[in-house]
Chains A and B, each alone.
Chain A
Amino acid sequence: MTIADGIWQQIFSFDNYGELLALVRNSLIAGAALGLVGGLVGVFVIRRDLPFAVHGISELSFAGASAALLLGVNIVGGSIVGSLIAAGAIGVLGSRARDRNSVIGTLMPFGLGLGVLFLALYKGRAANKFGILTGQIVAVDTPQMSWLLGTSAVVLVALAVMWRPLTFASADPDVAEARGVPVRGLSFAFMLVLGLAVALSVQIVGALLVLTLLVTPAAAAARITASPVLLPALSVVFAVASIEGGILLALGSSIPISPYVTTISFSIYLACRLVGTYRTRQWGTGRTVPEPG
């Protein structure tokens, strides 16, 4: 057996697949919820130009999760606390877009540093440490499941209520404000929703790769449609496909789940860019009447 074959077997292995599948049933359910949340939240991450904020929040979420690991309390809970603190800080200190990136850039290394400290102090299994950074699938046990699903439900309800004014405020803040939309309040509320979504994603894909669920699917969908219905729908489909595909492929291997998820997600993005080039040309020529005036 050549080395290449050996590596291939590590990446893709489907021995005893049926038995393994039963073990990750919880993960698949959590993955579906996460895909739904990530796909929808991602639409606003793109609209509001917040990918860097996602990254920043995920580092503090990592710090929260490692603190929880060290203290032996619920990791999802720790992750959520870290996320909300980061999202709240970015929402308050960086409400103006100009300040936002420097606030995030300042918070992020601090969060990462704290996380490293807590992990260094932790004497348990190394796999637990690695999992927070790069993701894990088998770790979703029943109490964690209820946390994940409960938080997902909170995010989905919040999004359903504020979807329309948030879209308006994201696209055209001045006009939205003139029409009575509470632009600043929504901006802060969305940061908190984003914090929860990040904390959820950290559980599956890990803190380093949260962007693959909260940015890539929506960015891909935005390449091919601007329909307010189709855009979030496609974003969800892409996110769910990436995460469930990733879980199923990672199942038999000894490699963390994240490279599978990121590769699927990125491939979808590339495909959408290709289609998007064609669509853009179509939009450009699709104007039946030359602009009058």
Chain B
Amino acid sequence: MASLPRARESRTEDPDRGADAAVISLRGAALAYGERVLWQDLDLDVRPGEFLAVLGPNGSGKTSFVRALLGQRPLSAGTLTVLGRPPSKGSRHIGYIPQQATLSEHAMLRARDLVRFGIDGHGFGPRLRTAAVRRRVDEVLESVGAAAYADVPVGLLSGGEQQRVRVGQAMATDPRILLCDEPLLSLDLHHQRAVTELVDARRRSHNTAVVFVTHEINPVLGLVDRVLYLARGSYRVGTPDEVLTSEAMSQLYGTQVDVVRVRGRITVVGVPDEVAEPPHHPELPHGVRP
């Protein structure tokens, strides 16, 4: 059952664990589908307030990484803890923002209803505690700049507006981790910036850790603390300057790959065809997902 005050308490319940204890911790972690290993021997700690971008070609295990964090997929080996515990399904401490297209065209709900589902949509039976929840929804809509269209059916909102509401929905439970799975897909540059700014603002104001899965680093390049790059059953982790280099990428892909930096934008050139499906074309809007 939704209970907002509890969420606030839980952030302060353990001051000793404070700023530096990892909110996500992986040790020797591996994920495999039968023989096919997506990634293995993954050691990673994500700290509060950190912005981690998860990059990699299609099929490199980005989505499986997200599903593991959400408790929807067990690891094949190693350990994963989220907030000091094994990941559990439906944790209120994780705010999840998927790509825009996953929202049903037939939703027949208003923006405010969507945000509200972020708080109490999982509960069976009739609603309780409605006044407090309603206040929280108004607060959240205001904070993501969606108050003006709070009562408009989500089907009539633009993709960018829908994602803005989604960010609000994810923040409604006051989570300690924001898990973003390609949230910028099919948005234009203007809305990409609006959504990333909202996510970044939340991280700064509440020290929320951000795990941002994307096939396109450039829209978030200025915000990223570290990059986890998955490819060919292996990975690299480090700052963008450490990971997104010709040397590191060539090693990861096992072939000559060039990382080109032009005016603060990064393009990876020469990724082998079989893994190169999401093209690194920063200037193109990503309209269609294959």
Number of interface residues of A (CB under 8 A): 39
Question: Given the known A-B contacts A167-B117, A167-B121, A171-B117, are A160 and B126 also in contact in the complex, defined by CB atoms under 8 Å?
Answer: yes
Chain B residues whose CB sits within 8 angstroms of the CB of A173 once the complex forms: 102, 104
Give the nearest-CB partner of A176 in chain B. B121
Q: How far is the CA of A287 from the CA of B169 in the complex (A)?
A: 20
Q: Is B33 an interface residue (CB 8 A)?
A: no
Expressed in whole angstroms, the Cα–Cα distance for A161 and B124 within the complex equals: 6
Q: Which residue of A lies closest to B72 (CB)?
A: A177
User: Are B152 and A178 within 8 A (Cβ)?
Assistant: no
Per-residue CB contact flags for chain A residues 278-293 toward chain B (1 = under 8 Å, else 0) read 0010011011110111
Query: Which of A11-19, A71-79, A221-229 lines the interface with chain B?
Result: A221-229
Bound-state CA distance A164–B107 (Å) is 13
> In this assembly, does A141 line the interface, its C-beta being within 8 Å of a C-beta of chain B?
no
A231 at the interface (CB under 8 A from B): yes
Contact with B along A23-64 (1 / 0, CB 8 A): 000000000000000000001001111000000000000000
**A48 lies within 8 A of B145 (CB):** no
Q: Report the bound CA distance from A45 to B195 in whole Å.
A: 32
Q: Please name all residues of chain A whose beta carbon is closer than 8 Å to the beta carbon of B113 when the two chains form the complex.
A: 226, 228
Which residues of chain A are within 8 angstroms of B92 by Cβ–Cβ distance?
179
Residues of A within 8 Å of B98, CB to CB, are 174-175, 178
Provide the residues of chain A in CB contact with B151, threshold 8 Å.
283, 286
| Contact (Cβ within 8 A) B102 A283 | no
Q: Does A170 interact with chain B (Cβ within 8 Å)?
A: yes
Contact check, A179 vs B191: say whether CB atoms are below 8 A apart: no
Decide yes or no: A172 and B114 within 8 Å by CB, A162-B124, A181-B90 being known contacts.
yes
Nearest-neighbor residue (CB-CB) of B192 within chain A: A293
- 1/0 per residue B43-80: CB within 8 Å of A? 00000000000000000000000000010100000000
Q: How far is the CA of A168 from the CA of B106 in the complex (A)?
A: 12
Q: Which residues of A contact B154 (CB under 8 A)?
A: 171, 226
Q: Within the assembled complex, what's the spacing in Å between the Cα atoms of A49 and B197?
A: 34
User: When each residue 84-119 of chain B gets 1 if its CB lies under 8 Å from chain A and 0 otherwise, what string results?
Assistant: 000001111010111000111011111001100110
**Inter-subunit contact A179/B121 (CB<8 Å):** yes
B residues 116-154 near A (Cβ < 8 Å) are 117-118, 120-127, 145, 147-149, 151-154
Q: Which residues of B contact A231 (CB under 8 A)?
A: 108
Q: Which residues of B lie under 8 Å from residue A168 when comparing CB positions?
A: 117, 121-122
- Asked if B190 CB lies within 8 Å of chain A CBs, one says yes
**Bound complex: CA of A46 vs CA of B104, how far in Å?**
11
A165 touches B149 (CB 8 A): no
Nearest A-chain residue to B126, judged by Cβ: A160
Residues on A with C-beta less than 8 A from B117 are 164, 167-168, 171-172, 175-176, 179
User: What is the interface residue range for chain B against chain A?
Assistant: 35 or more
Q: Which residues of B contact A288 (CB under 8 A)?
A: 148
Q: Per-residue CB proximity of A144-185 to B under 8 Å, as 1/0?
A: 000000000000000011101101101111111111110000
B234 CB → nearest A CB, Å: 27
Chain A 118-153 near chain B by CB (<8 Å), digits 1 or 0:
000000000000000000000000000000000000
B269 to chain A, nearest CB (A): 31
Contacts A49-B106, A181-B90, A231-B108 given; does A175 touch B96 at CB 8 Å: yes
By a CB distance below 8 angstroms, the chain B residues around A179 are 90, 92, 96, 117-118, 121-122
Contact B109 A167 (CB under 8 A): yes
Q: Which of A48, A162, A180 has the most CB of B within 10 A?
A: A180
Contact assessment for A178 and B94 in the assembled complex, using a CB-CB cutoff below 8 Å: yes
The minimal Cβ–Cβ distance linking B285 to chain A, given in whole angstroms, is 16
Bound complex: CA of A209 vs CA of B147, how far in Å?
A: 42
Q: How far is the CA of A176 from the CA of B125 in the complex (A)?
A: 16
Q: List 26 A-B contacts (CB under 8 A).
A: A43-B108, A47-B106, A47-B107, A47-B108, A49-B106, A160-B125, A161-B124, A161-B125, A164-B117, A164-B121, A164-B127, A165-B122, A168-B117, A171-B104, A171-B114, A174-B102, A176-B121, A176-B122, A178-B70, A178-B94, A179-B90, A180-B89, A180-B122, A226-B113, A228-B109, A293-B197
Q: A164-B124, A292-B194 are in contact. List 14 more A-B contacts (CB 8 A).
A: A173-B104, A175-B96, A175-B97, A175-B102, A175-B170, A177-B70, A178-B96, A179-B92, A179-B118, A180-B91, A227-B110, A291-B161, A293-B190, A293-B194
Chain B residues at the A interface, C-beta cutoff of 8 Å = 70, 72, 89-92, 94, 96-98, 102-104, 106-110, 113-114, 117-118, 120-127, 145, 147-149, 151-156, 158, 160-161, 166, 169-170, 179, 190-191, 193-194, 197
Q: Which residues of A contact B (CB under 8 A)?
A: 43, 46-49, 160-162, 164-165, 167-168, 170-181, 222, 226-228, 231, 280, 283-284, 286-289, 291-293
